[in-house]
Amino acid sequence: MHGLMMDSELLISTILRHADRNFGNQEIVSVTADNPLHRYTYQECFRRTRQLANALGKLGLMQGDRVATLAWNDYRHLEAYYAIGGSGYVCHTVNPRLFPEQVVFIINHAEDRWIFVDLLIVPLLEKIADQIPGVEGFVIMTDEKHMPETNLKNAVCYETLIGAESDAFDWPVFDERSASALCYTSGTTGDPKGVLYDHRSTILHAYAAVSPDVMNLSSIDCVLPVVPLFHVNAWGIPYAALMVGCKLVFPGPKMGDGETLYGLLEQENVSLALGVPTVWLALLQYADSAGKKLNKLQRTVIGGAAVPERMIRDFRDKHDVTVIQGWGMTEMSPLGTVSTPKFGMETLTPDEMIAVRAKAGRGIFGVEMRIVDDKGTEMPWDGVAYGSLQVRGPWICSDYFRLEGKSGSHTADGWFDTGDVAIIDEDGYMSITDRTKDVIKSGGEWISSIDIENTAMGHDAVAEAAVIGVAHPKWTERPLLIIIRAKGASLERDELLAWLEGKIAKWWIPDDVVFVDEIPHTATGKIKKIELRKQFADYELPS
Ligand code: ADP
């Protein structure tokens, strides 16, 4: 027997309609290439979004067709998100920081028909335009005054395009399982793979994101996503924040600029900011060197890579800001776990609390987790056993776009293999020890490169640390520690190794330390271990 509840589709356009009604006067502030500080209201945003939807309707697109964006975080990008997805097309966010060959591969693989492009990214597209023949035209996200000379085919100015349209538009109603957005993983091995989100998964994920134990978002929050709109939908913020009516602040092309971020956080009264650890390093360094405190920020969600304990401490002790660590991935929309405390943890000492926040976190409702050994046997949640981390739930991909099961990413019983190795403790808090391919195998045992990196980052003279396995005749592999010294600091190998003693297991102490000026990062801010392993492939460890 079915229940007697209305059958209304969970569509992203419903967020927009709700936000328009209830939070019409709420503000959206953006830094853009053509305006250092643009400011308008939700109402104005949605009026323009409807104009854009009308313009898209005249391009001859069919439901499910892909329309790409190559753009930084700002209001026009947000409008494109909703106009494309809300109309029933698929908003394909492309990461402009990828190698041009990857951008070409992704656009062709997705068969994007039109591309919305930020003024600053036009030169990148001009260079590859002849390799993406399927694209019918380009919308340059600026006004007439800033419109560049360009040879991009059918280039139109965003403001001109929408200016000609009516602001009346009826959002179509269709099956909530229709695709809404597409995002490719960065493809550190092999070609990038497309993750295709749908309306239902997006809404369910947004409900989870706003809940108190996750981001605790409400209309009294002001949110600054430093995580890009092209990286897993900025962790769902465009949907979650609008669902509850938060003020939004977008940093545009200034995402890596500590001074601009600091200014926005203070002037706009930002209560929550989100980003990967590297962007917060830049902000904390700026605040330190300028002798400034973050006065307004209350909490920050950090994920995408393990958060060093030192960063959690610096935010708390210097700025009175709570760090909420999150773990997830493109394939998971991305939220999987969040390191918020549980009942009974009120009595923890400040140091014990830091240890909780340094874990990747506990599973949120909607994400089931398990860890399994090589044979697929489930391992206990005892804080000691580790295994491959597998997940399932309504916002986790069931396959990759146009790969039809060929990636081997899913188990026969319907779980997604994350490619991460993890430990889960008795309280359900999970810690990532490594990516499966980065694990260091020493004498038949595994060493966690992430744990060593995090511990090393606790040394005052260390700006960044990376650990890789290097071939060893007796132990198969041994850890090599790669360090960038903090500005002006002096630190030598033996001093650092001695300092690590007692902080990590004795047999985890790296066999050697090399000091470098730069550590390579992926387009999404993770340490590029593949590159490091290549660089140090012939490295001879001291005997
Ligand atoms: P990419 O496109 O680079 O794969 P993702 O954001 O999808 O970007 O990367 C997901 C991976 O990032 C996870 O599988 C995990 O290895 C790593 N990661 C994310 N959050 C954390 C975290 N809090 N701690 C450790 N690793 C993390």
d(CA 1, CA 280): 52
pLDDT in tens, 182-219: 999 976 667 899 999 999 999 999 999 999 999 999 99
> Which residue's CA is minimally distant from atom 24 of ligand 1?
306
Per DSSP, the chain holds a count of helices (H) and strands (E) of 16, 25
Among 441, 445, 492, 495, the one annotated catalytic:
441
Determine how many CB atoms are found less than 10 A away from the CB of residue 97.
Answer: 18
Mean confidence (pLDDT) of the chain: 95
On the question of pLDDT at 103 being above 90, the answer is yes
What does the block give as tokens for 163? 């200016």
Token readout for 169 is 């538009």
Cα-Cα end-to-end distance for the chain = 72
CA distance 512 to 46: 57
User: Which two three-digit tokens encode residue 242?
Assistant: 């609008």
446 is an active site residue = yes
Q: How far apart are CA 205 and CA 364, in angstroms?
A: 10
* Catalytic position from the list 331, 453, 464, 477: 331
**In angstroms, how far apart are the furthest CA atoms of the chain?**
74
Q: Can you tell me which residue has the tokens 């929309």? A: 333
How far does residue 244's CA lie from ligand 1's centre (Å)?
Answer: 27
| Per-residue pLDDT at 441 | 86
Predicted confidence (pLDDT) per residue in 125-183, tens digit? 999 999 999 999 999 999 999 999 999 999 999 999 999 999 999 999 999 999 999 99
Whole-number CA gyration radius for the chain: 23
Using alpha carbons only, what angle is made at residue 443 by residues 440 and 445, rounded to the nearest 5 degrees?
Answer: 55
SS3 sequence of 269-289: CCCEEEECHHHHHHHHHHHHH
CB neighbourhood size of 136 (10 A): 14
Q: Which domains does the chain have, with CATH numbers?
A: 22-243 (3.40.50.12780), 440-543 (3.30.300.30)
Indicate the SS3 state at residue 490: coil
Burial class, 530, CB count within 10 angstroms (exposed 0-12 / middle 13-18 / buried 19+): middle
Distance CA 108, CA 133 (A): 8
pLDDT tens sequence across 351-402: 999 999 999 999 999 999 999 998 999 999 999 999 999 999 999 999 999 9
CA–centroid distance, 434 to ligand 1, in Å, is 10
Which residues form the pocket of ligand 1, taking CB atoms under 6 Å from any ligand atom?
A: 185-186, 232, 303-306, 325, 327, 329-330, 334, 360, 418-420, 432, 435, 522, 524, 526
Q: Model confidence over 402-450: pLDDT tens digits?
A: 998 888 899 999 999 999 999 999 999 999 998 888 889 888 788 989 9
Instruction: Determine the distance separating the centroid of ligand 1 and the alpha carbon of 225, expressed in angstroms.
Output: 17
Please tell me the residue having the least CA distance from ligand 1 atom 25.
306
Catalytic site residue 185?
yes
